[in-house]
Chain A
Amino acid sequence: GQQLNQSPQSMFIQEGEDVSMNCTSSSIFNTWLWYKQDPGEGPVLLIALYKAGELTSNGRLTAQFGITRKDSFLNISASIPSDVGIYFCAGQAPNSGYALNFGKGTSLLVTP
């Protein structure tokens, strides 16, 4: 499976700051997903994107499916301590069947 390039690898921010992370791929995807993983837990879906150019919000989270279909970003506004965790992007390529390609994750730390 193709690895996605996810950046930054880690972020250390203060409560109230906005956060932005992104994923890029050398090939196109049909679907982009953003997951959050808390310590000792499985990834939990935050936002799913199914169409190029699509911009979707979920509370303080906003994600976009890039026009080129090769990238996606996730923004978190006004971060709070419970935003701490690892954020993963995942994409599904055309004709990939059922496989999801995952980024290596962005570790977010938020200080009060």
Chain B
Amino acid sequence: NAGVTQTPKFQVLKTGQSMTLQCAQDMNHNSMYWYRQDPGMGLRLIYYSASEGTTDKGEVPNGYNVSRLNKREFSLRLESAAPSQTSVYFCASSAGSGNTIYFGEGSWLTVV
């Protein structure tokens, strides 16, 4: 009963380092998303992939890149991490537009 699985759960990076957050879903969902959650800001959409082979910018895409590797997997890459990217990152998936979105358990990223 995995649902949406993301790794790593915790990561500390130095400013300027790069890293990739991995996400996989086993619900055969078409759409996948990356959100970030900051105190007092709620959840904000970084990028999404409406279907395999497509990706689009969300509300806060700067400093990030994504790859929809296949239907199951959607990765988020920070090319040159900045302290402002310290946040909790959530991957999510849904069957499609208008369908309920299901979240992973989150990845806590600290950039020092």
Using a CB–CB cutoff of 8 Å, the interface residues on chain A facing chain B are 1, 3, 30-31, 33, 35, 40-45, 48, 50, 88, 90, 92, 97-100, 102-105
Q: Which of A35, A42, A48 has the most CB of B within 10 A?
A: A42
CB of A99 within 8 A of CB of B58, answer yes
Q: Which residue, of A1, A45, A48, has the highest number of chain B Cβ atoms within 10 A?
A: A1
Given contacts A40-B106, A99-B59, contact A33 B45 (CB under 8 A): no
**CA of A95 to CA of B73 in the docked complex: distance in angstroms?**
26
Q: Is B2 an interface residue (CB 8 A)?
A: no
Q: How large is the interface on B (under 10, 10 to 19, 20 to 34, 35 or more residues)?
A: 20 to 34
Q: List 4 additional contacts besides A104-B41, A105-B42; criterion CB under 8 Å.
A: A40-B105, A41-B106, A42-B104, A42-B106
A97 B56 Cβ-Cβ under 8 A: yes
B40: Cβ under 8 A from any A Cβ: yes
Asked if B78 is at the interface (CB within 8 A of a chain A CB), the reply is no
Q: Which of B50-84 contact A (CB under 8 A)?
A: 50, 56, 58-59
Query: Contacts A45-B100, A98-B48: A88 and B43 contacting too (C-beta < 8 A)?
Result: yes
Bound state CA distance, A30 and B98, in angstroms? 8
Least CB separation from A47: chain B residue = B100
Of the candidates B40, B45, B100, which one forms a contact with A99 in the assembled complex, judged by CB atoms under 8 Å apart?
B45
- Interchain CA distance A1-B97 in the complex, whole Å: 16
**Which among B43, B58, B59, B94 has the greatest number of chain A C-beta atoms within 10 A?**
B43
B103 x A99 contact (CB < 8 A): no
> What's the least CB distance linking B81 to chain A, in Å?
22
